[in-house]
Structure 1
């Protein structure tokens, strides 16, 4: 039985940390080969699973030391049918890897969870296509497509599912409907361009409102990921209803645009201390934002800096 599926602790008024940029860390810092940016391929070998465990442990150690909660996301951002086909994974192989990734995180939770550091296990979902480009699915097609991966997670002890780097509201509606149909809470995280809008040109607030309106507010909460704070701060307006639905951020280390990052052959790690200060100002202005992690270019050093800046006892 899933431990927190009926009562997600991050919905209470306390800070939760999350990990950083898994794929960029594993490729640029660990020197691993991740075809098509797919971390889940590491689940195929004992050595790969050990690398993933070592990756998570760095972040879990920070959370337990600081007395924060932690969101454990599976390495399955690419483990959906289209990307699986490119990587040689059929439906049963994908189901197996999604389920095995939950087992990996259950083992880590047994080792690291304390009363002060609850660890929520989340099945990570990525967009059907490229996280930097607009998808073309309507909501019904997206629901059918993502239901395959969501159903795999629903069969396990996953507490929730989290859809990251979505670029359009139709795909988000599909994810939310599929999660609701399988009775598992979901989180929706949009990515924005340097102007604070989705790649389609839609305002972030409008995208969130459209998903909520189409699903009767089915997502447990929303987040923003894969963009630097300088890209999305201007989109956040105090007093607007949709802003209170945004519970966290997993920002990029770099202030470069998605197009610039796509063309770069080196990693831009930015400034961890500066990122921490930006998160501190963000959480002071918007108290509902209490799930703090990183995306492309960030690693455990950035999360430590964010924690030090935003969690009083961590200083």
Structure 2
């Protein structure tokens, strides 16, 4: 009779199995189906894969249940079969493992590194449902694998510990620099998992043996528990319509001994590995005698990865000479003006507007990121031109809608290279409401998370957790919509953005003096500046459109009445007059003013800037005249 899994790990290195999904793909099963459903419809196929790994020398089999949770199965209409698929997966693995093999119930990350697509409440429910099914069928342990961040893995582990005292293996998916996506170094992450009750802690997926070796070395020999290692067979290459992995079996055998020397007690393979890879691991470890390791908690003072200091910008850089907007607004009234990038290739009028607003004394020009999901010129390109040709500070919006994690980080790196360091993080209106309704809305990140991730770049850490050679200097703003029935709830949401790292706030346009006062009172406890949004109305039709059709904007009955029926110069004059009255109230409560320019009518915004300076008594230098 085989010993308990925990006892077995005290005296030997156990050989795990290899990939299931990519092996099924190599067998001809296409991408786009649920491989877990095969537990029910083609159990003989899954049993055969397990059998091949056992014959190759695997001593531990993972159940074919990695994505067999409610959320993942719902994409195939299989969400009602969570129990059946998981229990079948355990039975099939048990049949293949026989009396001497160990079976661990495989449970994968649900969020998959996004951390936004499933709520914490749903996570708890989905993990518990899958765990119950696996445990009811009986396994030798639980394998929580391919987790990208500490938060989700800790949650899954806590639920597992509540349901069973069986051995639990926890595995992170990290790059070779060994940081989780939520910024933890591996010593920190391992310490947390050990404290939460993990029996084995390790790595799988995302990188090959060399990358995982680099991650292991960051632990510097401090192991709070035995390790498990399941690398990919290198990086996948897409050739002639098929995926290929380059790391061969012989290489895996060589690396297996090195992993064992560093304290690994379970060694298998992940994506791209085959029975041949497992046979090589088993052969290399056949006569291996493991060292005796003393497993101790990792001290909390373990040093994180060293991040290089940001390279200093040129001494003549106007961005470095001037205080950032957060510092500036603490000293005096500060005016940000929004000017929409053009929907055409002609930028002449836009640049004329930027120059006029600079002359009026704007402190920054803010450029939206395809607002209302309408395609406009890149605010990166225009921000650079504004900065280079007018000297006016650009403040660019970053929408979660249009870019995935890769594109967002790439975009931010580009801004840093151009010296554009003031940004506003926004969710972005859904693409289906814009001028290209067939395009996709990405939303890899929420506005809360994009703030946190941008601030992570300021620490010299990439979105992946990889250290960067220098730190960014982003000053990150967040949007605030004060309209709605419950202002206190809007403020509570705002506090979450501040907790995520927001440095300043920009509000939606407000047209009610009483609401301006209410916002001032409701946010008086906040310690970051708020830029109150004011947008002059251009006509009566413009007023009705904003009130009735644009999300997040509400006009008071008084304003709508005063604008009713007015067009042309008459409408613009009334719009400016109303905006001046609102500014008078806003300036009593806020140092930050955020003006939005309608329809490229930048003379309206220029008049309002000049009104702010006249009221505050600020004298512009000749440079602005």
Whether TM-score is above 0.5 comes out as: yes
- The answer to whether the Cα contact below 8 Å between 1:4 and 1:159 also exists between their aligned partners in 2 is no
1:32 to 5, 14, 29: 29
Q: Distance in 2 between matches of 1:274 and 1:240?
A: 23
| Structure with more helix by fraction | 1
2:179 to 193, 197, 212: 197
By relative contact order (CA 8 Å, sep 6+), the higher-ranking structure is: 1
- The answer to whether the Cα contact below 8 Å between 1:138 and 1:171 also exists between their aligned partners in 2 is no
Residue 163 of structure 1 aligns to a residue whose secondary structure is strand
Using the TM superposition, give the Cα deviation of residue 187 of structure 1 relative to its aligned residue in structure 2, in angstroms.
1.3
1:247 to 227, 230, 247: 227
- The answer to whether the Cα contact below 8 Å between 2:175 and 2:215 also exists between their aligned partners in 1 is no
Matched, 1:58 2:45: no
Partner of 1:276: 253
CA-to-aligned-CA distance 1:86-108 (integer Å, 9 cap, x gap)? 011123x1111111111112222
Matched, 1:43 2:39: yes
Residue 79 of structure 1 aligns to a residue whose secondary structure is coil
Partner of 1:180: 161
Q: Distance in 1 between matches of 2:154 and 2:221?
A: 21
- The answer to whether the Cα contact below 8 Å between 1:16 and 1:292 also exists between their aligned partners in 2 is yes
- The answer to whether the Cα contact below 8 Å between 2:209 and 2:233 also exists between their aligned partners in 1 is no
- How many pairs were matched up? 282
Q: Distance in 1 between matches of 2:72 and 2:8?
A: 30
CA-to-aligned-CA distance 1:39-64 (integer Å, 9 cap, x gap)? 2111232xx2111111111111122x
- The answer to whether the Cα contact below 8 Å between 2:69 and 2:79 also exists between their aligned partners in 1 is no
Q: Distance in 1 between matches of 2:146 and 2:132?
A: 20
Residue 294 of structure 1 aligns to a residue whose secondary structure is coil
Deviates more, 1:230-239 or 1:292-301: 230-239
Partner of 2:20: 22
Matched, 1:224 2:203: yes
Matched, 1:233 2:230: no
CA-to-aligned-CA distance 1:246-285 (integer Å, 9 cap, x gap)? 42211011146xxx78xx842124222122212222222x
Detail structure 1 runs of 4+ shifted over 3 Å in the superposition: 3-10, 136-145, 237-241
Matched, 1:267 2:254: no
Q: Distance in 2 between matches of 1:269 and 1:292?
A: 19
- The answer to whether the Cα contact below 8 Å between 1:169 and 1:208 also exists between their aligned partners in 2 is no
- The answer to whether the Cα contact below 8 Å between 1:141 and 1:174 also exists between their aligned partners in 2 is no
Partner of 2:270: 295
- The answer to whether the Cα contact below 8 Å between 1:134 and 1:199 also exists between their aligned partners in 2 is no
Using the TM superposition, give the Cα deviation of residue 199 of structure 1 relative to its aligned residue in structure 2, in angstroms.
3.3
Matched, 1:210 2:199: no
Deviates more, 1:232-241 or 1:159-168: 232-241
Q: Distance in 1 between matches of 2:46 and 2:204?
A: 21
Q: Distance in 1 between matches of 2:2 and 2:50?
A: 20
Matched, 1:166 2:147: yes
Using a 3 Å threshold, how does the CA distance of structure 1 residues 123 and 34 change in structure 2: closer, same or farther? farther
Matched, 1:81 2:70: yes
Higher Cα Rg, which structure: 2
Q: Where in structure 2 are there 5+ consecutive unaligned residues?
A: 289-625
So what's the TM-score if we normalise by structure 2? 0.42
CA-to-aligned-CA distance 1:268-311 (integer Å, 9 cap, x gap)? 24222122212222222x1x312111011110111111222232
CA-based RMSD of the aligned residues comes to: 2.6
- The answer to whether the Cα contact below 8 Å between 1:179 and 1:185 also exists between their aligned partners in 2 is no
Using the TM superposition, give the Cα deviation of residue 145 of structure 1 relative to its aligned residue in structure 2, in angstroms.
3.2
- The answer to whether the Cα contact below 8 Å between 2:154 and 2:193 also exists between their aligned partners in 1 is yes
2:97 to 87, 109, 115: 109
So what's the TM-score if we normalise by structure 1? 0.80
Residue 165 of structure 1 aligns to a residue whose secondary structure is strand
Q: Distance in 2 between matches of 1:181 and 1:204?
A: 25
- The answer to whether the Cα contact below 8 Å between 1:34 and 1:41 also exists between their aligned partners in 2 is no
